[in-house]
Structure formats: C-alpha cells, structure tokens
Structure 1
Amino acid sequence: MTPKLPPRRLLAIAAALALMGGHADAKAGHGHRKAASDDADQSCPLGSFSCAPRPLNYAMCRPNALLEFYDPSLDKDSSLRDTSPAHVQAQRVDSSNQSVYHLSGNVKLQRADQLLQADRLDYNSGSTDYDARGNVRYQEAGQLLAASHMQGNTEASRGTADDVRYQMLEARGNGVARQGNMLDAQHTRYSGATYSTCDVGHHVWEFRASSISIDKATGVGVARNATMRLGSVPFLYLPYFTFPVDDRRKSGFLYPTIGNTSRSGFEVSLPYYLNLAPNYDATLDPRTYSDRGAMLAGEFRYLLPGTHGQLNLQYVPNDHGASDGLADTKGTSRYLINFADQTNLWQGWRFVSSYNHASDSSYLYDYGNALSHAAIYTLGSNAAVLGGGKWWSASFGGTIYQNVNPFVGDRGLPYRQLPYAKFSMEIPLSRWLEVGMDSSAVAFRKNGFVEGEREDLYPYLAADFGSSAWFVRPRLAYRYTAYQLSGDYRNYGYYGLLGSGSTGPFTQKSPSRSLPVVSIDSGLVFDRSTSLFGNSYTQTLEPRLYYLYVPYRNQNDLPLFDTNVMSFDYWQLFSPNRFSGADRQMDANNLTAALTTRLLDDSGVERLSASIGQIHYFSPQRVQLPNGQVHVVAGTDWVHSAYVAQLDLQLSDLWRLSSSYQWDPNTRLTDLGALELQRRLGNDGILNFSYRYRRGRLEQYSASVVYPISERWRLMGSWTYSVKERETVEALAGVEYDSCCVTLRLVDRNYVNQTSYGSIPAPAGSNVNLRDNAIMFEVVFKGLGSSGGQIDPLLRRDILGYQ
C-alpha cells in the first residue's frame, strides 16, 4: 500500500537523517566519481611553456565503490525538495490514533533526491519524534548513510544513529562511526569514527578518532584523540586537530616536506596554514636543516578594499653551517624578505611596490637553489605609480637592485633608477592613421660608474593600409635622447674603471642624439586549397618586404646605462633597433625580404608555419657597443645579414616539431641552430628532445620524459648536457605513484649551481662545490587540503608539458 502523508513533517525526517553534511548543490550531478576520460580532456596543449596543475584525479578509484544500497535512478536535483510531495511505501501501516504512524516491512520514504529506507519506522506527527529500526539507509544527491537504528526529533533537528556507515558523493570521503548524534541542524558529533577519501572497504589511509565534531555553519570539523594510519599501521597521533568539511579555507597543517641538499643537508618542513579572516591569511613554515639549523619561514596575504599584497619571510636565527670561503656566515642570523603590494589610488591610477632583500649575497646560494627554485643572482625592488586611459599610459617610480651572486661583486648589478618617469600614447586620427609617442626620463645611479640623467623622446606617425590580402604600413618617427652627466664623469670608462691618469670617453656633460627613424612594412597573402596525407588544408604564401632608414650618428660619447645587443632572431628582421634600452640607436639603410607559408586545417588551426628571411644592407652598420674601456668596435661592412629560418609543425595532436636556423653568408658559418621535438605518450606522458647551438657561446642537448609504465606508476626525468663544458648541466630523475586517494613522488636533481656565473674558480681553501644535489620526497593524501609542494613547480619548469 502507498498512502500519502503530510509532506512537511515526514520529509523533515529525511532531512534530519543527513548527519554527515549539508544538502548538495541544486545543480549537482549524480554521485559517481569522475571517469578517467574527464581528466584526459584537460591535457596541456603541445608546446605550452607552462602547464597548470591538474585537479585531483580520482579516475583510479573503483567506479562502483559505493555503499551497496546506492540507487542510480534517484533524482539528483535537490532544488525540488521544497515543492515535491513525499511518497511512502510500506507493507504495513498502523495509524489508529491519528497522530502516530507505525510503518513496517520494506519502508520507503522518498521526496525528490531524498530516499529513506528501513525495516520499521514509527513517527509521531504531533511531537515530530521518529524511530527507525533495522537496516536504516538514507540517500540524497550529496551522500549515503546507513545505520542499524536511528531516532530523534525532526522539529528540533536532533537525532541519534547507531553503527553508522557514511559516504559523501560529491566531496568524497567515507567512514564508519559507533554512534552519531545530531545536536541541531548545524552541529553533529560522532563517537569511534573514521574518515578516508579512499574506496569504501579499501582504505590505504584513514583517520581514526575517539570523537569527531562537525560544524556546518563554519565548515570546520574537530577530531580528538586521533591517529592517522597507513593500512592498519598508525604513524601519526594528534590529540586534537581541526579539518575542513567543505570548500572554505581552514586553518591546519599542510603536507610536510622531507628532502636533502648538498648545501644545507637534510630538510624537514611542516607548514601550518592560518585562516585568520576572509580577506587575509598566513602560513607558518618551520624548517630544520641538519647542516645549518632551524629556520622559520612565513607567508602573509591580504585583500583589502582597493589593495592586495603578500609578504614572504625566511629567518635563520643562527646559521651553524661551515664557512665556504665566500662569506663568513657561521653563527650569524640570516634572512630573506619578499614583499609585493598593489593599491588602487583613484580611477585609472594605482600604486605598485615590491621589496626583495637578503641578509647577504650567499643566502640564495645556500638556501634558495635546492629543488624548486631557479637560480637568482639579482633581487630587484621597486615602487611606482601607474596610470592609464584609453589612448595613454604613464608611470613614475624607482628601482633598486641587490647582488645575490656570491662569486662576483656589485659591479655586475644594473643601474639603480632613482627616479624614473615614462609616458606613452597612441591616438587614432582616422581609420588608417595614428599618432603616438614613447618617452622616458630616468636618473641612473651606480657607485664607481658614470652617473647621470637621460631623457628619451620618441614620437611617431603611423599608417595602416590594406585588406585580408595585402598590407602597407609606413611609419615616420623621430628620436631625441639627451643626457646630463654628474660628478667626475670624465674619469670613467665604459665599464666603470677609474682612468688611472687617463680620461674616459665622456668629454661632454650634456651629450645628446637626435635622428629620424623611417620604415615601411608591406606584404601580400595568397592562399589555395591543398591536401596532404589525405587531409585537406588551406595553404598560404606570404611574401613580406620591410625597409628601414636611420641616419648614422656618432654615439661613442654616450654612456651605457641599460643598453645591450639583443639576440638576433626572425623578429629582429623587422625591428627598428637591435639594441635594448635607449643609449644606442642603430643606423640603418636596410631592406628585409621574408617569405612565410602556412597550412591551416578545416577548423582554422595552424598545422604548419615556415618562414625564411634576410636583411640586405645598402650601407654598413656603424653604431656598435664598446669593446673595452674606450675603444669602439668598427662598423660592419656586410652586404647581407644571416639567413633566418623557422619552422613550426604539428600535423597531429601527438607530435610537435619546432626549429630555427641562422646561416651567415659573410662567414659561411652557422650562427644559431635550435630543434625541439615533443611527443605525447597517452594522456599522462610526454617526451621532449631539444638541441640548442649559438656559435661561440653554447651547444646543449636536452631531453625530458614523463613515461607512464602503468595506470599508477610514472617515471620522470630530464637531462641537459653542455658540449662546450663537456659536462651535464642538470640531471633529474623521479618516480610517481598515483592511486585513488594517495600520491607519492620522489625526485633527485643534480645540477651545476653556478651555471650563469661562468668559469669562476673556487676560492683557495674553500669547500665551494659548483655542483649541487637535492632529493625530495612528497606524499599527497587526496582530499586533505593543499600542500604547496615543491616538486610540482620543479617538474612543470623542467619538463615541457608536465602535469
């Protein structure tokens, strides 16, 4: 028989029995965990320089590892509860006193996504007391719950369940409890409880606690007298700890990190996260190094109306590491500060600042080069006011630098810019014509070097004619650069060395340079339909001509504050200056000819791009950088530049090849060669190979791989070899085990610590080792919060395409 009962009160029974969590989201899907194909769609595109970490992958969990009474046909939309009627089924119903219902024999109570089943159910509609006995089962969109006996009061949202088994369907997590007590609608307490995100009945790890309290209002759970177990072996005891029960941030310990480096010895880190307020938080990270002692690291983040920022601090109260001949730091306190802030001032304007400072130049050599950090040799700090509108942008501020390279002095630091001001604008005059300007004024400061102020004005007028088949872009610019040198500027050479009785090249206190810069860029685009390997493509042919004229100006008496020669590549064929910064403007009477062809598939994806180009010099390039303190390199007498070619090829989603090549007809030598090959191995594997050559500077081979040997195991490695130094620059090997609820990673990295320092001999009597080694082990218990681990960032940096 299927009687209809008053919906509000009987349905409150079902709501009261949801002991382990709140209602599922109204748009929640069914309770099954994600299939493996869901994660496969999130593969990083081939050629990406940085791949975001994947979300936790539960694809290896058993697809049917659910409590046995799960009904997949039950409605999954919890938003229908308030408007849906309740349906009750039972073999026998007794309601002789009109207020007490006695239901027995396969009792089923259902409303929308809620389903309560029991052998017997007694319900008092007047007092809202209920008593369910015998094989009690409850299901909703967000969870499953089973008990031998359940009783309580729906009006007061109180209840007690014995011999509880539970499973959270959306947030994952399952366990058992000797008894569960609903204190009210927001608070629940369990006795003799367990918790794990592993499969039901197959817990690789779990928490066992004498009591667990859940507060839905705050999203916080509290466990007392708890042990964490791997299998049946306890390895961590916590008399009291808290944990999150939803997606809200929660204070608590993050995953510990254990590692070893040759500079600092064994490292143990145990971070603790502090959720101080909705708009600011902190992380305390106490560490200990066997060779150097204790460190306290910390991070503080804040988000206030109109401003946000972050402060990172590392402090070593007493470094007892052995002196290495670079700096005497034994017995001293050491520290590192990193601070960044951005504050909105008024509409269109903001203030940005950063402060980065180490206690000594050896700090990052000792602590910062271990595993997950790239080598850093300069720390920069700045403060600036930035503004912008529809056609303009401006900034005003200052920048300073600190040397953190213990093998060189401060002479290698960039100039301090105290202060600087920059202004740029682009104003469209018509659909095809615009006027603009780039300008800057900077005061350059550096002890022991020539100092002064520089103003650079670069107005231009540019036009853009064309259609989808052709373009012509003339540009007329004028560049004016003026200096005001200070102090004894006559006594400095280009590298800041005192003249020792001779004068430097700077004979004027206020030198200047002014010249026009004229260019015209033009091209055609032809296309046709073609086929390759049975696939249809659109092929383009794009010839391009670029003419540049800049008259020669003698710039030997201008200092070099922030200028260097840029690497010559394909895009330099169309650049108005081969120097960075404003201290040098090249002279030019050049014509660049280039040709590009592309293959586009039917969806518009570029599968092939091949380009080749060369510059023809109608006159020698006479402006050069100084080669020594006073003398200047003579200008080139080339007729042609090197041929520059580049190729990008990706005919399938599994293979990608890119290459660039430069051959100089003047020397008949190869200036540059680079080859990168990438192959995807299934959904979780990747193989990379690269070769890089630049004449007289470097020749390196690199290979990296993530190789899945099974569904659970992956091998990882990378290797870089320098032909010039005849040694391995860096080698990394690692292994990863991934299961339903736990991930293990072990990585060993050996590398040249001083790669960017060049061949610098170690000081006599020192224990400096130009090679370093780091080993790190990481355990991720899925579903217990984040780790901020060090291994993932390293692998994403060293293995192109790693996720």
Structure 2
Amino acid sequence: MTPSPTTLRDLPPRRLLAVAAALALSGGPVHARIAASGQVESPEETTMATPVDRGADASSCPLGAFRCPPRPDNFVLCRPNALLDFYDPTLPHDPAQRETSDTVVDASHVDSSDQAVYRLSGNVRIERADQLLRADRIDYNDATTDYDAQGHVRYQEAGQLLSADRLRGNNQANHGIAENVRYQLLQSRGNGTAARGELLDAQHSRYSLVTYSTCDVGHHLWEVRAKNLKMDKDTGVGTAHGATMRFADVPFLYLPYFTFPLDDRRKSGFLYPAFGSSSRSGTMFAIPYYLNLAPNYDATLEPRIYSQRGALLASEFRYLVPGTRGQLNIEYLSDDRGGNTSESQPTRGTDRWLLKYRDSTHLWGPWSFGTSINRASDRSYLRDFGNDLYTTAVGTLTSSAYVRGHGDWWNASFGASSYQNVDPFLPDTVVQYKRWPSARLGLDIPVNRWLEFGADAEATAFRKDERIEGDRLDLYPYLSADFRGAAWFVRPKLAYRYTAYQLDSNYASYGYRGLLTGTQASPFEDRTPSRALPIASLDTGLIFDRQTSLFGSSYTQTLEPRLYYLYVPYRDQDDLPVFDSRRMSFDYWQLFSANQFAGADRQMNANNLTAAVTTRLLDDEGVERLSASIGQIHYFAPQRVQLPNGAVSSAAATDWTRSDYVAQLAVQLNDRWRLNSAYQWSPNSRKTNLGTLGLQRRIGVDGIFNFSYRFRRNLVEQYDASAIYPISERWRLLGRWVYSVRDKRTVEALAGVEYDSCCVAVRVVGRHYVVTRGPVSERGESDNALMFELVFKGLGAFNGKTEDVLRRGILGYQ
C-alpha cells in the first residue's frame, strides 16, 4: 500500500481573509440534498448549511465536563434560502462526466425555422451531467454551440446555484457571460451577487462588483465587496482588487489588492488583524501574514505594535515530514520602552523575547522522541505580552526532551527537564529542581491469570543553583495478585523500595534534621545516604446489589464495603535530601494509597487499616446516577515520617489513631442537573478540614448555572457562581463571581452579553480579576479588562479571545 503524501492539511488550519468569497465564485463538487427547512445538507456529514439543533450541541458537552469544545457555526436562525427553490438533487455530482454525457433539451416550444439556430421557449431546460440550465427563452446555435438564455435564468452545477437576468456564451469553449448574477454555494451558506460574471474557460473566470456573505439572501448584515475578482482554478488562486469588508453596510476594512486560495491548497496572504489593550503594555494591534512555503511546512509572521512598549515581531514555523511533526514560535521586541513590572528585574531598555519549540518524532519500532522547549528573556514577559488573560497566570515554563518507548509489559523513558521562573513577584528559588537527566523503566509482567510481577525504577540527577545537588536511584519491585469473584475481590501486594543518593561535594553545607525540630539545621553527614524498606498491603471488598426504585424510576443499588490494610516499617529519613517530594492533599483516594508523599524522597511509615463503604445507583442502561462513599484510616502506629519545616507541604508528625472521616457524593439523576460534594471531618480536632460542593443545572437548552463552595482549613474558602442565561433565542447573559472569605474580597467578577443571529455573533465581556498576591501588597494586585469579539459565521472572528476566556471561566460554556 502506497503511503499518502504528507501535507499540512494534517496540521491546524489557517483561515485566510475572504477564503469563502473565493469558494463562492469558483464552486466545487459536493454531494447535497434539500432539508425540510429549505437548506442544503450533506448525506455524509452535517454542513454549515444545515440547521444546527441547539439542544444537540449543548448535550455534546456532558454535565461536569471541565472544558467544552467550541460550538460549531449555528445557522438555525437563518431563513430558508430562496435560491434553493430550483435545486435539483438528482443531478450527478461529478463534473468530469460532462465530456462523455449527452445534452438533453426540453422546452414547451421550439422554433427551428433557422436551420442553425434553435429558438427554445416556455420552461426551457438544458441538462448535461452535473449542469442544468433553465430559462424562459434560450437561443441555441447547433453549429457553433453558442447560446443566449434570457428571462428567469437559473443555472446549477456541482457546488453552486446561480441565477441571472441573462446568460450567453459558447458551450464548446466553456465560455459564458452572465449579467446581474446571484449565487449560492451548496457546501455552505455562502451567497452573494455580481454585476457581471465571465467564464473565460473551464478553469478561469472573472467577476465585477461582486459580494459574498453567509447571511440570509437579501439581508446581508456583513459582506465582502470587491470591484473585480479573477480566479484561476489551475493554480487555485483568486485575485481581488478594491475589496472592502462591511458590517451593517459600514466599511471597516479595505484591501486594495489581495490574493487568496480557491480550494484546499494553501496560499500566502494576510490573516485577520487582532487588537487588544492592557494596563501593562497599552493598546496592541497586529496583522499576521501567512506564508505557504511548501505542502509540508509553512510559516506565519505577526508584526505587533504596543503603544507603551514598541514594535514586536512574532513568528511561527510548522513542519510535517514522515515520522516527525513540530512547531517553532519566536517573539522578539527590541529596546522595550515600557515600565518595569518587577523592580528586582528591570526590563526597560532591554531586548525581550520568547521561544517555544515542540517536536514529536518516531525513531524506530516502539521508540519515539519528544521535546518541548519554552524559554523567556525575563520573569515578566508573559505578564506583559500574554495574548490571553490566562497566560499571565503561568508561573513556570517547562522545557523537556525525552526518548520514550513502550511494549505490552514495559515502558521506558530517558531525557531531561528544566524549569524557568516567569513570575515577576517570586524569587527563582521557588522553581523546582532540574532533572538533568532522568531515566525511568516500568515493568508489568503477568505471571499467570491472577499473579503479576512489576517494577518501577528511576534514576535522576537533580540540579539547582544554591541548593544541595545530587543523583538519586529509586527501585520499586512488587508482586501482586488479584483474586476475584462476581461479588468479592482480594488483592494482596508485596513490594520493596530501595532509594539511594550520590550527593555532590557541597552536601555538608546543607541540612534538614534541625529544621524538623525548629532548631538550627545540622549539615548532612553522609554523601551516599540510602533507604530500604518493604511495603505490604491487602485490599479486599464485597459487592452486594438489589433492585430498588426512586422517584418512580427503577435502579440497581449496590453496597460495596472495602477494607485496605497497609504496612510499611519506619525508617529515619531526616538525612535524605528533598528533591521533588511533597505532601499530597488528603482525599478519598488517599485512603487506599501506599504513600502520602509524591516523589521518592519520602516514604511514609504505616500500620494502617482503612474501612470504607460505597453505594451506587445504576439505571437500566448501566449509567451511574448516584455514588456515595465514606471511609477512615485507623492508625496502629503514629505517622513519623515528615518533610522538613519550610519544605513544600511540610507538617508536624502526628500520633493520632484515626484519620479524618472522608465522604464524597455524586448525584446526576437526569441530564439536567448534577451535584458533587466532598467532606472531611477530623475526630481528633473536632473540626472540618475540607468541604466542597458543586452544583450544575441546565437552563433551557442554551443556559447553565454553576455554583461551588471550596473550603480547606488554613488555605482557602471561596464561593464561585457562574451562569449563562438565555433571555431569548438570540440573546444570552453571561456572568461569574468568585469571592474569597479569607481575603474578604472578590477574586474575579465577570459579566457579559452574547448576541447570536443567522450569520453574526457578538460577545462583550467585562472582567475584574486578581493578578498577584503577597509580595506586591497585602491584598495583591488586581486588573480590569473589557473584551469584545465579533464573529462572522463561515468566515472567522475578529479579536477571537473572548470565547476561550468564557470556556475556561464558566463550566459548561459553549
């Protein structure tokens, strides 16, 4: 089998200005049929000409999804298209059949007094392959194949419909001239007019005073107008002169000359301009230019002007070759004129840049290579030049390069990771250790149907300026069994963990032991410390079920008691450095975890027994409609292994005999609402340590309401409410409010309105949000933003950042 050629069609597309206008007048083969509403739809897939059911779109994003996909262009509000009245769906769809097909003529009256010229009148119909010409009167010269159609002229071919006052030309030469033209694309809602259209031959055409829009015929809220337009199907290029983009009949963009593609072939040209504003960089204006360099690589240049900082050049290069694909982005600004975001790292008068590079390459067999390089000139770059409001919240840039492989029972990787601090208000010491390099091997080998041998091994060199450095080897072999029946399971597991270090020569300058007791830290005494211990666990459970009913519906209810025993002997680990370990948040799944620490620097000791029970309600289709669980750990030995004071997630050792009670609840009895909740109560302190509540409710078809409450003792207590409220078929109100009880302030407030019509969508959103905390001031720094987005359906969006902000901020937004 011959592999298909590699092209950039497999990469994310670049929408060029007036692409749709080119397609409108060039046409293209498409299979189509008439829908009941009078629109055109494809039997293979739904096209933009098909009315989109809003309910179907809404249900495509299930309740509880963290982020919904973008909603496709919705033309449900459009009127039936009058041009489709003469569409004939029975015609062939292949223009290549024209050369071998007969021409069939049908008319009420035929005057053949002139032996060369036939004068056809009365519902004249001339058909050849995919072509169909109808008119009140047609004169046809049989000798020269000249024709002249007048009166209610209607023409159909694969890809488009056309009506005109008059159409004359030569059939053999594929040449024709149409006057007062109206057209409709069959593969979309694209339509428009032209004062004159000339078919020069089968591959070349020329139009004058031409328009294009996806709005209702005769009611163009937006459209593209050009004085003249030439198209070359051989090269796939259209050329327009004197083009303007209009909204509500008001011109807002003028291009005296531009070219664009007529088909899927990519074409160099300008993309939509972008604009924005921020308090840190001022007003921004950018107009990208796309470069179609080759079928398998391209580039985009984006000059930007910042009113407070100067001119910046952004560039993007994409490539796709057999086995490899990648993308390189570079941004550069010379001699920054703006103010300093951070006084500790001044940027005024400096050159500033951003580099992002990613590549994925298949090497051989099961092996591949992946790299992601992300670097900035300074810690303030993303905050000053971030293209969206969420980029400014990024605090660390990660760069990595790894060779990875996997098989049926193994996986492996080797590479390196580095990190850069890009938070202007935090010191570089907050950045985690570089893995320079790191190698991992995982094994999962079935011995028989119930016994399994596995191992996790990692060797890493940790590097960080002004901190203890060294190498670490962590080996974790295990043997596990899985005995189960229809209503029970028993899963014993026996593991052994060995962790060894080779510290650098500066190890004696650092220490942790004293930090655990609050005294001065004593230095590490051993350059090659190690830790070895066994880990044994036994996980058992039962599953009971019965039939029950609730609110008139029948369900299968389960009751699932579970016991989990864990034994890990204590080992003194105060002389081990902390390279990547941190305490994980305690939750329901921590009840069944062999370690409360992430990373290999700390392994908790344990002589614990977890008791938990879960009940579920399953409907007749097996969908889980309710799940409720509660559990607790009983400690037979105190938790003695801890992180040092000052380390991430450090905490004092405990001698409690019981953990928090942990409960969680998830309810979704129908597709209209969903509730999730978690709760942790400590029998030791008699206080609530964690409580969360999340509620999501659909409002009609297009609306949604979200409410959540988050509490974790000594860390956070917030209320978060957001809503999308449809006030009519065209209008929706948007809002979000996040309030911090601990800070006694609004963390984020968002309010907006969205208008949706046949061919235009408008969003206006205002946002107040906290940018920084702590180091800047006691209450942090806040900012305001006003975002505006205008979407021309079928053509693209101007300043298209608002939708991404709403999808991130409002759960369930589409």
Return the TM-score normalized by structure 2: 0.90
1:182–1:189 CA contact under 8 A, matched in 2: yes
- Structure 2 SS opposite 1:78: coil
Alpha-carbon distance change, 777 to 634 in structure 1, aligned in 2, over 3 angstroms: closer
Deviation, 1:42, is 5.0
2:347 aligned with 1:329, yes or no? yes
- Structure 2 SS opposite 1:543: strand
2:512–2:575 CA contact under 8 A, matched in 1: no
Alpha-carbon distance change, 406 to 74 in structure 1, aligned in 2, over 3 angstroms: closer
2:452–2:479 CA contact under 8 A, matched in 1: yes
2:382–2:391 CA contact under 8 A, matched in 1: no
- Structure 1 SS opposite 2:614: strand
- Aligned position for 1:681: 699
CA distance in 2, matches of 1:496, 1:746: 57
1:735–1:746 CA contact under 8 A, matched in 2: yes
Q: Identity of counterpart residues, as a percentage?
A: 61
Of stretches 351-360 and 741-750 in structure 1, the one that deviates more from structure 2 is: 741-750
- Aligned position for 2:632: 614
Alpha-carbon distance change, 257 to 521 in structure 1, aligned in 2, over 3 angstroms: same
- Aligned position for 1:535: 553
Query: What whole-Å deviation, never above 9, does each CA across 1:399-454 have from its counterpart, x for those lacking one?
Result: 11111122222111101111111111111111111111100000111111111100
Deviation, 1:218, is 4.5
- Aligned position for 1:6: none
1:499-518 alignment runs, 5 A limit: 504-518=522-536
1:198-597 alignment runs, 5 A limit: 198-246=215-263, 249-324=266-341, 325-368=343-386, 371-373=389-391, 375-494=393-512, 504-597=522-615
- Aligned position for 2:81: 65
1:258–1:778 CA contact under 8 A, matched in 2: no
1:350–1:386 CA contact under 8 A, matched in 2: yes
* One-letter amino acid of the structure 2 residue matched with residue 454 of structure 1: R
Deviation, 1:374, is 5.3
Match of 1:692 among 702, 710, 719: 710
Query: What whole-Å deviation, never above 9, does each CA across 1:66-109 have from its counterpart, x for those lacking one?
Result: 22x72366427625994987653211124567765432222023
2:512–2:574 CA contact under 8 A, matched in 1: no
Match of 2:754 among 736, 746, 749: 736
Deviation, 1:789, is 2.3
2:25 aligned with 1:20, yes or no? yes
Deviation, 1:546, is 1.0
CA distance in 2, matches of 1:788, 1:439: 48
- Structure 1 SS opposite 2:408: coil
Alpha-carbon distance change, 468 to 130 in structure 1, aligned in 2, over 3 angstroms: farther
1:555–1:623 CA contact under 8 A, matched in 2: yes
Uncovered stretches (5+) of structure 1, i.e. residues with no partner: 1-17
2:238–2:262 CA contact under 8 A, matched in 1: yes
Uncovered stretches (5+) of structure 2, i.e. residues with no partner: 1-22, 41-48
Deviation, 1:336, is 1.1
2:336–2:351 CA contact under 8 A, matched in 1: yes
2:209 aligned with 1:192, yes or no? yes
CA distance in 2, matches of 1:638, 1:199: 71
* One-letter amino acid of the structure 1 residue matched with residue 580 of structure 2: D
- Aligned position for 1:11: none
2:790–2:799 CA contact under 8 A, matched in 1: no
Deviation, 1:618, is 1.3
- Aligned position for 1:775: 786
* One-letter amino acid of the structure 2 residue matched with residue 445 of structure 1: R
Deviation, 1:260, is 2.1
CA distance in 2, matches of 1:734, 1:185: 50
- Structure 1 SS opposite 2:805: helix
Query: What whole-Å deviation, never above 9, does each CA across 1:8-44 have from its counterpart, x for those lacking one?
Result: xxxxxxxxxx993344324666543322426634531
Of stretches 51-60 and 103-112 in structure 1, the one that deviates more from structure 2 is: 103-112
Alpha-carbon distance change, 23 to 383 in structure 1, aligned in 2, over 3 angstroms: closer
* One-letter amino acid of the structure 2 residue matched with residue 269 of structure 1: A
Deviation, 1:58, is 1.3
2:198 aligned with 1:181, yes or no? yes
2:767 aligned with 1:749, yes or no? yes
CA distance in 2, matches of 1:407, 1:19: 53
CA distance in 2, matches of 1:317, 1:744: 36
- Structure 1 SS opposite 2:808: helix
Query: What whole-Å deviation, never above 9, does each CA across 1:243-282 have from its counterpart, x for those lacking one?
Result: 4444554443333333222222222233333333332222
Alpha-carbon distance change, 348 to 98 in structure 1, aligned in 2, over 3 angstroms: farther
- Structure 1 SS opposite 2:417: strand
2:677–2:693 CA contact under 8 A, matched in 1: yes
2:24–2:190 CA contact under 8 A, matched in 1: no
1:196–1:205 CA contact under 8 A, matched in 2: yes
2:500–2:528 CA contact under 8 A, matched in 1: yes
Return the TM-score normalized by structure 1: 0.91
Alpha-carbon distance change, 386 to 19 in structure 1, aligned in 2, over 3 angstroms: closer
CA distance in 2, matches of 1:81, 1:449: 72
2:675 aligned with 1:657, yes or no? yes
1:375–1:753 CA contact under 8 A, matched in 2: yes
CA distance in 2, matches of 1:751, 1:76: 58
- Aligned position for 2:161: 144
Alpha-carbon distance change, 217 to 575 in structure 1, aligned in 2, over 3 angstroms: farther
- Structure 2 SS opposite 1:319: coil
CA distance in 2, matches of 1:618, 1:19: 76
* One-letter amino acid of the structure 2 residue matched with residue 71 of structure 1: F
Deviation, 1:397, is 0.8
CA distance in 1, matches of 2:95, 2:785: 56
CA distance in 1, matches of 2:258, 2:127: 37
1:211–1:225 CA contact under 8 A, matched in 2: yes
2:40 aligned with 1:35, yes or no? no
Match of 1:155 among 168, 172, 175: 172
CA distance in 2, matches of 1:639, 1:60: 64
CA distance in 2, matches of 1:478, 1:562: 20
Of stretches 399-408 and 245-254 in structure 1, the one that deviates more from structure 2 is: 245-254
- Structure 2 SS opposite 1:164: strand
- Aligned position for 1:760: 775
Alpha-carbon distance change, 773 to 635 in structure 1, aligned in 2, over 3 angstroms: same
* One-letter amino acid of the structure 1 residue matched with residue 409 of structure 2: W
CA distance in 2, matches of 1:117, 1:572: 75
CA distance in 2, matches of 1:458, 1:378: 30
Alpha-carbon distance change, 591 to 711 in structure 1, aligned in 2, over 3 angstroms: same
Deviation, 1:490, is 1.4
Alpha-carbon distance change, 118 to 81 in structure 1, aligned in 2, over 3 angstroms: farther
CA distance in 1, matches of 2:756, 2:405: 48
Deviation, 1:467, is 3.0
Query: What whole-Å deviation, never above 9, does each CA across 1:338-373 have from its counterpart, x for those lacking one?
Result: 111111111111111121111111212222285242
Q: How many residues align?
A: 773
- Structure 1 SS opposite 2:613: strand
Deviation, 1:746, is 1.9
CA distance in 1, matches of 2:558, 2:392: 41
CA distance in 2, matches of 1:384, 1:785: 37
Of stretches 735-744 and 632-641 in structure 1, the one that deviates more from structure 2 is: 632-641
CA distance in 2, matches of 1:391, 1:29: 53
1:257–1:777 CA contact under 8 A, matched in 2: no
- Aligned position for 1:3: none
- Structure 2 SS opposite 1:753: strand
- Structure 1 SS opposite 2:391: coil
Q: Alpha carbon RMSD of aligned pairs, Å?
A: 2.7
